Amino acid sequence: MTKKKAISSRKLTSEDADQLHDISGVNVYACYQCGNCSASCPAVEFMDIPPHLVIRLAQLGFIDELIEAETPWICAACITCTVKCPRGVDIAKVMEGLRQIVLRRDFEHINIREIDKKLREKLPQIALIGNFRKTIL
Amino acid sequence: MKRIGVFVCHCGINIAATVDIESVVKDLEDYPGVVLVQDYKYMCSDPGQNIIKEKIKSERLDGIVVAACSPTLHENTFRLTCKTVGMNPYSCEIANIREQCSWVHKNKDEATLKAKLIIRSIVEKALLDEELEPVQVPVIRKALVLGGGIAGIQAALSIANSGYEVILVEKQSSIGGRMAQLSETFPTLDCSQCILTPKMVDVAQHEKIRLMTYSELEDISGFVGNFKVKIRQKAKYVDWDKCTGCGLCIEKCPKKAPSEFDQGLEKRKAVFTPFPQAVPNKPVIDHENCTYFKTGKCQLCKIVCSFDAVDFDETETFVEEEVGAIVVATGYDVYPVLNMDEYGSGKLPDVIDGLTFERILSSSGPTGGEVRRPSDGTVPKEIVFIKCVGSRDPEHHFPYCSKICCMYTTKHAMLYKHRVHDGQPYIFYMDVRAGGKGYEEFYQRAQEEDNVIFLRGKVSKVYQDDDKVVVCGIDTIYGRNVEIRADMVVLAMAIRPSKGVEELTRLLKIAIDQNGFLTEAHPKLRPVESLSAGIYLAGCAQAPKDIPDTVAQASATASMVSNLFSQEYLLHDPLITGVNEDLCSGCGVCVSVCPYDARKLNKEEGIVEVNEVLCEGCGSCSAACPSGAAQQKNFTDTQLSNMVKAILSE
Amino acid sequence: MQVSYYPGCTLKTNAKNFETSALAVLDRLGVTAQELEDWYCCGVCFSQASDNLMQQIAPIRTLVKAKESGNPQLLTLCTMCYNTLKRSVEFIKADEEKLETIHKFMDREATRFYGDEVDVIDVLSLIKQIGLDKLKEAVVKKVKNLKIASYYGCMLLRPKEIAIDSPDDPSIMEDIILASGCENVYFPFRTECCGSYQIVNEPDIVKTRAKKIIGSALKNGADLMVILCPLCYYNLDEVQAEIRKEDPRFQTLPVLYITQLLALLLGLDLDIHDFSLHSVDPRPVLKRKGLL
């Protein structure tokens, strides 16, 4: 059984958030947790952390948990969350920032060779290139 | 040369921590014209003021300079101090060494030098100050109240009860405003009309109140205590002197139009009163919808009227009045649902705003208080209320909180449950703001006793699916999306200043804020005055507020008006800009720059004349005048130039 | 009237029928779309990282070519291209410093692009610009009761800086459909994402989305769905066939590029359609409605 970590003041003032801020250019502290991003997200049911909690964790400095999360890789950059946000928080850019933090460390999130050859030939280029742009540095 | 005394305040450590008081005192002692320099911990305190009084007498001072905080705070204090010992108040000057010096600097040496220079320059000003007397203006003790909702009604009654005359102007044909449309009011659930209509009748019967409905302010001139107003009464096509309010014309009128009072849920006739308890209870003919005005045929109303009151030739009329004060109580509108693209853009019949739901709940409403949805008249078994629609959304709509929605939505859910026992109300909310007397208890009651389900989160989308309205939202507390197939949705739309208020504020020359609400003179200390003297604010025109707050504010406004009317004369600051007739060439430049219409060109004499009461002493004309004829009292060119020299001399 | 035209990769392969039908429709409406002599892949997904300038270079290069072509407007058919090019324009307009840096990598370009010289336009806006009346006049096949579900997808509506219509309640496709003589079917998921490039490694997302989108259009009585994006096209057409394989009860709905439908209504050469590219065959319903 794993214990849940309490939020400590060390976390709340964490410098981890700086890199996310630098890459995304987003001030996550404007978020007031209305949840519209999650309510409108077309892929939220596939995510381990819904978008509004991604922003909440970013506010609390839990970047380490966020870069382990599946959510940024489920996000398809449809920008619905950003358009919906009443406070102008560009959630899609935060997702991109999280992907970039991982990719700048690991270079790739998927293995191209593992994509089914038949599928690869059938898919339109924009599907492949779009995917690679988001999952490979 | 004058004998000037300088009094330097420490303001505790506010000034003394950053400005070396001792050094300042020493520096000023030798300054030409200064015969005394005295410092004290708190100059504004009683002992501080006593020092000033004693020194004025003992040192036979002609003028004083108090080096302390901003003149907006204590100038009046020290001028009154001078007055009590026989010194002309305008011989007292303030050198601001706190806000403009100690508070904004860190380096003590630099701040000390700056304080010295500020005080020296003010000494230069004091040396050439004239003794002045305030300008006296008589007050017309009659008020004009614009808007006949609960704010205007309360203000009018309160002013009238103080014994002053009131003209109450209302745009609609009846007073009552939004409050007349409401069902029951939170947190006590008393019937809105039942508590409002007695006040409406009081207005109609009050001997001091002249009620002018179906009217609007057309023009205004003048100034505090002496406004001239022109009021336009729109053509009613019914002679209200002859009309008895029998209602036969309404009964016989064959033409229907959507009822504004019932939010379009019900029809009214082309000749109509907005609601049965209207005050005055006399109908008007709606020109837009009347068959006779469209086709030249019908006239049924005229035929059936036994009092010959219908007059199709009636035109608008104008009334001119003089008043001393104006209260702006023009109220609010509800932000239209059609602005909410994600909630169906107003195209879904069972997605309505809160005010429309008030009419459905109201026992005098189209369903007699039974909850029935607009599309098919069935009783909704699941109903969703969404709060903060258009409010708290700086990105798409308005940044502010509309304040009343938390409570009225809770009330809506409660009243729904009282009428539909097997129904389920849901409220989507982001925060519950229940900060009024009895409000939190009311909210808890809705949770505990009426089983209202509160879901914390926003709704991203509402759409029609068969005969259901699907609501897609979230409960952020649990972190899961929520989808409710509801029968009806009520949106707590943002509150907006009522239509036309912008034009009105241009006419009145009063300010509105970035959201269109009227700006008060000071957000805390002068909450019911506008920045234009003699014009006051009440109700939702100033900011969203509920009925208790509106009544409290309107009473405060009335008290300010009574305050004004209790004086026989108004005293106007004499620091105005006159005209030196020998120097004035009549070029008129000053007339064009004056924001207060205080200056007029006398073409015959070829000079400019000044209305001293209108002049606010802003100095625009002084700056613009090419010949130096426009000199502001105690801010003459010579004084200003000496002040600048004093600062630059270091 | 002449506009420059940027095809992008997919229009030359999987979405050939989109290109041929669109160019034929525009030609009939009096617009010549002149393909850029030289163009590059736009990158598909606009980089949302504020510090990733490399990914802005390809779109800006293409925009330089467009500027050199002399036409004030650059037409994109693929909505992902529209989104990427248009956002790149907004990106450099908002930040001069970054534009300078990008210019440093443009060593082969003689022209500099500053953002306002070329207006990137999508085909819907272009048709609206030509005039819905003109479209109405050009229609030669009058159809009765052909109910069309217009699917917008994401890339024309979001983010709002580049949106061609209201992100939540757009009407431009419906306006065009109405002018072309068909009936509109409103369905609530017409602006919701199809799952996009997640088809590559998270196909379940796309299947879930496709079921919801197609199901809702069918429920509201659609005969056909029209779309604009070759990726949406794959996700909604090809994936329907896959869903059908897994669930034989799944009801399918033919999907066409909106320009294919317009081409049929304008009576243009049928060769441009290449219906063999469709996995849900639209021919039966088109025949039934008298368009074939």
pLDDT of B58 higher than 90: yes
CB contact under 8 A, B479 and A88: no
End-to-end CA distance of chain A: 36
Q: How far is CA B586 from CA A32, B396, B412, B617, B629, in A?
A: 60, 52, 66, 20, 10
| C-alpha torsion sign, points C210, C212, C218, C224 | negative
Probe site for chain B from C160, C168, C171, C190 (most B CB atoms < 10 A)? C168
CB hemisphere CA count around B137 (13 angstroms): 25
Q: Are B150 and B550 in contact (CB under 8 A)?
A: yes
Cα distance between residue B159 and residue B210, in whole Å: 12
Q: Is B104 left (phi over 0), alpha (psi -120 to 50) or beta?
A: alpha
Q: Which of B424, B368, B407 is nearest to B188 (CA)?
A: B407
> Which residues of chain C does A23 touch, with a Cβ-Cβ cutoff of 8 Å?
49-51
- One domain, residues C257 and C190: yes
Cα distance between residue C59 and residue C43, in whole Å: 7
Beta bridge partners of B569: B138
Question: B231: part of which helix (H) or strand (E)?
Answer: strand B226-233
CB hemisphere CA count around B243 (13 angstroms): 25
Q: Are B330 and B498 in contact (CB under 8 A)?
A: yes
The whole-chain average pLDDT of chain B stands at 96
- One domain, residues B526 and B413: no
Annotate B220-236 with b (16+ C-beta within 10 A) or e (fewer). bebbbbbbebebbbbbb
- One domain, residues B78 and B157: no
Probe site for chain A from C87, C200, C233, C255 (most A CB atoms < 10 A)? C200
In a domain, C179, yes or no: yes
pLDDT of C271 higher than 90: no
Cα distance between residue B350 and residue B372, in whole Å: 10
Q: Are strands B480-486 and B332-334 parallel, antiparallel or unpaired?
A: unpaired
Q: Are C119 and C75 in contact (CB under 8 A)?
A: no
Q: What is residue C207's predicted lDDT score, i.e. its pLDDT? A: 97
Q: Between chain B and chain C, how many beta carbons pairs sit less than 8 Å apart? A: 15
Q: What is residue C198's predicted lDDT score, i.e. its pLDDT? A: 96
In a domain, B544, yes or no: yes
> Which residues of chain B does A84 touch, with a Cβ-Cβ cutoff of 8 Å?
342, 460
Q: Are B143 and B323 in contact (CB under 8 A)?
A: yes
Longest dimension (CA), chain C: 59
CATH code: domain of residue C167: 3.40.50.11810
Q: Which of C292, C208, C198, C204 is nearest to C254 (CA)?
A: C292
Cα distance between residue B347 and residue B464, in whole Å: 10
Query: Using one digit for the tens of pLDDT, what is the confidence trace for B477-493?
Result: 999 999 999 999 999 99
Cα distance between residue B441 and residue B444, in whole Å: 5
A14-106 classified as CATH 1.10.1060.10: yes
pLDDT of C269 higher than 90: no
Q: Are strands B317-323 and B226-233 parallel, antiparallel or unpaired?
A: antiparallel
SS (HEC) of A91-128: HHHHHHHHHHHHHHHHCECCCHHHCCHHHHHHCCHHHH
Query: Using one digit for the tens of pLDDT, what is the confidence trace for C75-122?
Result: 999 999 999 999 999 999 999 999 999 999 888 888 999 999 999 999
What DSSP state is assigned to residue A5?
P
Q: What is residue B572's predicted lDDT score, i.e. its pLDDT? A: 86
CATH code: domain of residue B608: 3.30.70.20
CATH code: domain of residue B219: 3.50.50.60
Q: What is residue A13's predicted lDDT score, i.e. its pLDDT? A: 67
How is chain A split among helix, strand and coil, in percent rounded to 5?
60, 0, 35
- One domain, residues C92 and C147: no
Q: Which of B343, B353, B357, B492 is nearest to B420 (CA)?
A: B357
CB hemisphere CA count around C244 (13 angstroms): 13
Q: Is B403 left (phi over 0), alpha (psi -120 to 50) or beta?
A: left
Of C167, C169, C219, Cβ closest to residue B345 = C169
- Quick one: average pLDDT of B214-224? 94
What DSSP state is assigned to residue B125?
H
A44 touches chain B (CB under 8 A): yes
In a domain, B253, yes or no: yes
- One domain, residues C248 and C109: no
**What range does the domain containing B21 cover?**
4-134
Backbone angles phi, psi at C190, to 5 degrees: -70, -15
Neighbours of chain B (3+ CB pairs under 8 A): A, C
- Quick one: average pLDDT of B108-132? 97
Query: Using one digit for the tens of pLDDT, what is the confidence trace for B27-50?
Result: 999 999 999 999 999 999 999 999
- Tokens 């990914």 belong to C55
Q: What is the DSSP string of B484-498?
A: EEESEEEEEEPEEEP
Residues with Cβ < 8 Å from B97, sequence gap 6 or more?
A: B8, B15, B19, B67, B68, B114, B115, B118, B119
Q: How far is CA A94 from CA A38, A135, B373, B431, C158, in A?
A: 14, 15, 42, 25, 16
Amino acid at C149: A
Give this prediction's pTM. 0.89
Query: What percentage of chain C exceeds 90 in pLDDT?
Result: 93
Q: What is residue B140's predicted lDDT score, i.e. its pLDDT? A: 97
In a domain, C133, yes or no: no
Q: Are B132 and B574 in contact (CB under 8 A)?
A: yes
Probe site for chain A from B384, B472, B476, B478 (most A CB atoms < 10 A)? B476
SS (HEC) of A22-35: HHHCCCHHHCCCCC
Q: How far is CA A126 from CA A123, A134, C194, C199, in A?
A: 8, 12, 14, 11
CA B75 to chain centre: 27
Beta bridge partners of B268: B257
CB contact under 8 A, A39 and B481: yes
Of C169, C188, C219, Cβ closest to residue B341 = C169
**Structural tokens at position B586:** 């009549």
- One domain, residues C214 and C88: no
pLDDT of B55 higher than 70: yes
The number of distinct structural domains making up chain C is: 2
Q: Are C66 and C8 in contact (CB under 8 A)?
A: no
Q: Which residue has the higher pLDDT, B358 or C273?
A: B358
Beta bridge partners of B216: B232
The 3-state DSSP class for residue C121 equals: strand
CB contact under 8 A, B479 and A53: yes
pLDDT of B650 higher than 80: no
- One domain, residues C26 and C114: yes
Amino acid at B532: S
- Tokens 């009021």 belong to B231
Cα distance between residue B423 and residue B413, in whole Å: 10
**What range does the domain containing C275 cover?**
140-288
Q: Collect the ranges in chain A with pLDDT lower than 50.
A: none
In a domain, B648, yes or no: no
Query: Using one digit for the tens of pLDDT, what is the confidence trace for C15-42?
Result: 999 999 999 999 999 999 999 999 999 9
Distance from CA of C144 to the nearest CA of B (A): 24
Backbone angles phi, psi at B168, to 5 degrees: -105, 115
- One domain, residues B354 and B488: yes
- One domain, residues B583 and B604: yes
In a domain, B642, yes or no: no
- One domain, residues C102 and C165: no
In a domain, B570, yes or no: no
- Quick one: average pLDDT of B638-644? 96
- Quick one: average pLDDT of B509-521? 96
Q: What is the DSSP string of B449-492?
A: TS-PEEEES-EEEEEEETTEEEEEEEETTTTEEEEEEESEEEEE
Query: Using one digit for the tens of pLDDT, what is the confidence trace for B155-187?
Result: 999 999 999 999 999 999 999 999 999 999 999
Residues with Cβ < 8 Å from C113, sequence gap 6 or more?
A: C60, C63, C64, C67, C92
Cα distance between residue C196 and residue C174, in whole Å: 23
- Among the candidates B134, B167, B193, a domain finishes at B134
- One domain, residues C214 and C109: no
Cα distance between residue B621 and residue B444, in whole Å: 61
Q: What is residue A1's predicted lDDT score, i.e. its pLDDT? A: 65
- Among the candidates C98, C123, C148, a domain finishes at C123
In a domain, B550, yes or no: yes
- Quick one: average pLDDT of C155-179? 97
Cα distance between residue C287 and residue C292, in whole Å: 5
The number of distinct structural domains making up chain B is: 5
- One domain, residues B483 and B368: yes
Helices (H) and strands (E) in chain B, counts: 17, 32
Q: How many residues does chain B have?
A: 650
Backbone angles phi, psi at B258, to 5 degrees: -60, 135
CB contact under 8 A, C193 and A76: yes
Confidence label for B153 from pLDDT (cuts 50, 70 and 90): very high
Query: Using one digit for the tens of pLDDT, what is the confidence trace for B571-628?
Result: 888 999 999 999 999 999 999 999 888 999 999 999 999 998 888 899 999 999 999 9
> Which residues of chain A does B456 touch, with a Cβ-Cβ cutoff of 8 Å?
35
In a domain, B237, yes or no: no
- Tokens 């001792």 belong to B22
The 3-state DSSP class for residue B381 equals: coil
